[in-house]
Structure 1
Amino acid sequence: MSFTAELSQLMAAVLGREPTLNEMILIPMVPLFVAGYLVEWSSFRLNSGGWGTAQGKPFYLREVIANFSLGTAYYASSAIMNILYVAAVFAFVWEHRIHTIPISFGTVILAFFVQEFCYYCYHRTSHRVRWFWTQHVSHHSGEIMNMSTAARQSILNGIVGTWIFYAPAVFIGFNPDLILGLLGANLAFQWFVHTESVGKLHHWIEWWINTPSNHRVHHGRNSAYIDKNYGGVIMLYDHLFGTYQIEHEKVRYGIRQQIKSHNFLVLNVHEFIDMLRDVAAPGRFNERLKHIWKPPEWTRADHNPIHTWPVKGEHPSAQKPKDTF
């Protein structure tokens, strides 16, 4: 029996079902993720002589614990959502596909660029549509940057429907295991770009690839960095759609309305609850509903945005409001 078959059999015994290719890639990578983090932390400690125990340091302990807590819950919730309905959704779409694209070297390359486009659309929408921002905000609310920051994921992914961005690729004929497997590889790659330990690389590499420098920009709340660099592995679509930005000033991490909490549950649901409370607040019904699909910073007249938990807001001059995708 091959190693892949043995791994699949072992994971099936643990999950109680056959693992998806996405899970076959991401779950076995966890030890490598942790190893990468430990190497990064050890390098920082040797060079600085400290643990990074003060807030704002790259390895602030409370935030690292919150990061790994969010990551663990994300894995568990994703498995549950797959069992409940996500796997069935992709099976349904595949059953009703308009074509069958055979798997070959050439179509795998094509599928990579299709998946990257789907990811770009998801990622950009999750910043510009509040419904999807409610699940992505936990990833951006971290105020430090190290590999554990990549673990800041949400238990709301399946609930808000992030899968919808990849269903079209399956509908046109790409095998769902292939698309979701490539997505798993995409996410695994991104673990290693969440770091301050790697500076800028050659400009040609920076132009094409999602490097640590490019991704630090994406996590910045600096005015020039907001809503930039959405690419997963490559920066092609950022160049095509005008969202590419080089790192040219020190990055300030976090979000414009910074949640001041390290509580696992608060980090997962604060934006979702605030959105629902904004919708429920008095006002014209059609205006209230706009809180769902407008950008996160959008506000309506005669309504003060609701924050269930304390936040620290940016000065208005640091914001760059816009209503379009």
Structure 2
Amino acid sequence: MKTFDPVTLATPLFILTIILEIVFSRLGRLKAEYEAKDTAVSLGMGLGSTVAGVLFGGVIGATTLGVHQYRLFDIPMTAVWAWVAIFLLEDLTYYWFHRIAHERRFWWASHVNHHTSQHYNLSTALRQTWTGGLAGTWLLWLPLSFLGFPPAMIAIQKGISLVYQYWIHTEAIGRMPRWFEAVFNTPSHHRVHHARNPRYLDRNYAGILIVWDRLFGTFQPELDEEPCRYGVVKNLGTFNILRVAFHEWIAMAQDVIRQPRHALGWMFGPPGWSPDGSRQTSHDLKAEWEARRTAPTDLDRAA
């Protein structure tokens, strides 16, 4: 079967739809907020990610092919059942990659740049990592090659997933039909994922299917009474693309150098972890928010 790269094929569509979203938002025809410097950073991160992918592609491809030589089964690319299987298994792999990338600081350092924009529009989808290859997140997909899925098949499905996730980075689309919201990742679900509201932190890790979040207890619907506020817990306040790309790696290295005996905690604890509890993790922020939300008011006390 002839292989192809879904992301490369879709790139002209990415550019066209970003332009259209900007134009129609300026005309007041749809909801979208763009800031020139912010959009430039997103596009620059996307370009840098493409370059990094080329640089690390050889290592990743060679490793995947090497693992495939010891495969358990011979899975044909021409079988319909094989594409159904790779769709489900790759999407499940993406869920766990994405969850780990939020819950462990070492991988968050690679992923955080995707969340640094305080706007949520189609250009945000292109704000991709430069350091995913170094972080080794691609290792999570090697079991699929070991099972017997051809490396080209895995690459195609990963590309399909990335293309799907592009369109959900928008405020221009409200909620989809209920059945669609129940099964698939949507703009509404992914807005929650990008929000920094305590209620919304570390939720909705889905790639294509939101069913994984429902199954593993990480689903949170978007609530009309609580609009999403975008960015990270402590926003960077800069459009310096190098800082956007590397700030968390630098901060983590500084923590390790300052307190090397806590190196494992600094590197593999949750983002916000500190040995003395002086910083706040998303769990702490959620607990603090929940305590405020459920605390009795003066009226309750008076009653």
In the alignment, structure 1 residue 31 sits paired with structure 2 residue 8: no
Gapped runs of 5+ residues in structure 2? Answer: 289-303
- Counterparts of 1:109 and 1:314, CA distance in 2: 37
Match runs of 1:161-180 below 5 Å: 161-180=136-155
**TM-score normalised according to structure 2 size:** 0.88
SS at match of 1:238: helix
Tell whether the 8 Å contact from 1:226 to 1:320 is kept in structure 2 after alignment: no
Range 288-297 or range 242-251, more displaced = 288-297
Helix, strand or coil for the counterpart of 2:235?
Answer: strand
State yes or no: 1:87 paired with 2:58. Answer: no
After superposition, where does 1:113-132 map in structure 2 within 5 Å?
113-132=88-107
Aligned partner of 1:158 in structure 2 is 133
TM-score between both structures, scaled by the size of structure 1? 0.82
Q: Which amino acid aligns with 1:224?
A: R
CA contact (8 A) 2:201 2:282 kept: no
Question: 1:63 is matched by which residue type in structure 2?
Answer: D
> Is contact 1:99-1:173 (8 Å) kept?
yes
1:272 to 244, 249, 253: 249
- Structure 1: give runs of 5+ residues left out of the alignment: 6-19, 306-312
For residue 122 of structure 2, the aligned residue among 137, 147, 154 is: 147
**Cα-to-partner distance string for 1:45-84 (whole Å, 9 max, x where unaligned):** 11179xx9xxxx710111001100000000111011113x
Question: 1:320 and 1:107, CA in 2 relative to 1: closer, same or farther beyond 3 A?
Answer: farther
> In the alignment, which residue of structure 2 is the partner of 1:16?
none
Contact 1:256 1:319 in 2 (8 A): no
Contact 1:281 1:288 in 2 (8 A): no
Q: Secondary structure at the match of 1:259?
A: coil
Within a 5 Å distance, the mapping from 1:1-325 to structure 2 comes to 21=4, 24-47=5-28, 58-83=33-58, 85-103=59-77, 104-248=79-223, 249-282=226-259, 285=261, 287-301=262-276, 318-319=285-286
Give the structure with the larger helix fraction.
2
Classify 1:33/1:290 alpha carbon distance in 2 versus 1 (closer, same or farther; 3 Å). Answer: same
Shift of 1:214: 0.7
CA deviations on 1:78-137 (whole Å, 9 max, x unpaired) are: 011113x11111111111222222230011101100000010010000000111101110
Distance 2:100 2:37 in 1: 30
Q: Secondary structure at the match of 1:188?
A: helix
Alpha-carbon spacing, 1:114–1:316, altered in 2? closer, same or farther (3 Å): closer
What letter corresponds to residue 246 of structure 1 in structure 2?
P
